[in-house]
Amino acid sequence: MLILVCNVGSTSLKYKLFDMPCTDILVEAKTERVGRNDAIFTYRNNQNGFSEKLEGLSVPGYADGIRLFLRYLLGEKSGALKSMDELEAIGFKTVLAKGYYGVHELTDEVLAAMEAYVTVAPAHNPPYIEAIRVFRSLLPDKLMVGCFETAFHTTIPLSRRIYALPYEWYEQYGICRLGYHGASHGYIARQIRKRAGEHFRLISCHMGGSGSICAIEDGKSVDTSFGFSLQTGIPHANRAGDMDACVIPFLLTQGLTMDQIMEGIGKKGGLLGISGVSNDLRDIQDAAENGNERAALAIDAFCDSVVKYIGAFYAELGGMDYLVFTGGIGENSVLVREKICSRLSCLGVKFDREANLAVRGEGRISTSDSPAEVLVLPTNEEVGIAQIIHEKVSAGELSP
Ligand code: AMP
- At 11 the pLDDT is 84
Give yes or no for residue 208 CB within 6 A of ligand 1. yes
209 CB-near residues (< 8 Å, 6+ apart): 236, 237, 238, 279, 328
Name the closest-CA residue to atom 10, ligand 1.
280
267 CB-near residues (< 8 Å, 6+ apart): 238, 239
Give yes or no for residue 374 CB within 6 A of ligand 1. no
| Pocket perturbation via mutation, ligand 1, pick of 210, 282, 289 by most ligand atoms within 8 A of CB | 282
210 CA closest ligand 1 atom index? 2
Region class of 103: left (phi > 0), else alpha (psi between -120 and 50), else beta = beta
Nearest by Cα to 139 from 85, 186, 191:
85
284 CA closest ligand 1 atom index? 12
Name the closest-CA residue to atom 15, ligand 1.
328
| Pocket perturbation via mutation, ligand 1, pick of 281, 325, 357 by most ligand atoms within 8 A of CB | 281
CA of 327 to the centre of ligand 1 (A): 7
- Per the DSSP assignment, residues forming a β-bridge with 15 are 6, 29
Give yes or no for residue 146 CB within 6 A of ligand 1. no
Domains of the chain: 2-148 (3.30.420.40), 196-381 (3.30.420.40)
Q: Report the distance separating Cα 16 and Cα 66, nearest Å.
A: 13
209 CA closest ligand 1 atom index? 2
- At 399 the pLDDT is 82
Give yes or no for residue 211 CB within 6 A of ligand 1. no
Beta strands 2-8 and 87-92, pairing class: parallel
| Burial 103-116, CB ≥16 within 10 A → b, else e | bbebeeebbebbee
CA of 86 to the centre of ligand 1 (A): 36
Name the closest-CA residue to atom 20, ligand 1.
333
Q: Report the distance separating Cα 237 and Cα 275, nearest Å.
A: 10
327 and 208 Cβ atoms separated by less than 8 Å = yes
DSSP H helix total and E strand total for the chain: 15, 14
Give yes or no for residue 209 CB within 6 A of ligand 1. yes
Give yes or no for residue 114 CB within 6 A of ligand 1. no
| Pocket perturbation via mutation, ligand 1, pick of 333, 335, 336, 338 by most ligand atoms within 8 A of CB | 333
Give yes or no for residue 280 CB within 6 A of ligand 1. yes
Give yes or no for residue 127 CB within 6 A of ligand 1. no
Q: What is the pLDDT tens value at each position of the chain, 400 positions in all?
A: 999 999 998 788 999 999 999 999 999 999 999 988 999 999 999 999 999 999 999 999 999 999 999 999 999 999 999 999 999 999 999 999 998 988 999 999 999 999 999 999 988 999 999 999 999 999 999 999 999 999 899 999 999 999 999 999 999 999 999 999 999 999 999 999 999 999 999 999 999 999 999 999 999 999 999 999 999 999 999 999 999 999 999 999 999 999 999 999 999 999 999 999 999 999 999 999 999 999 999 999 999 999 999 999 999 999 999 999 999 999 999 999 999 999 999 999 999 999 999 999 999 999 999 999 999 999 999 998 999 899 999 999 988 7
Coil, helix or strand for 381? helix
CA of 317 to the centre of ligand 1 (A): 29
If you ran DSSP here, which 8-state letter would residue 76 be given? T
Name the closest-CA residue to atom 17, ligand 1.
332
Nearest by Cα to 152 from 188, 183, 193:
183
Name the closest-CA residue to atom 23, ligand 1.
329
Give yes or no for residue 327 CB within 6 A of ligand 1. yes
C-alpha to C-alpha distances, 360 to 230, 326, 332, 364, 386, nearest whole angstrom? 29, 12, 8, 10, 25
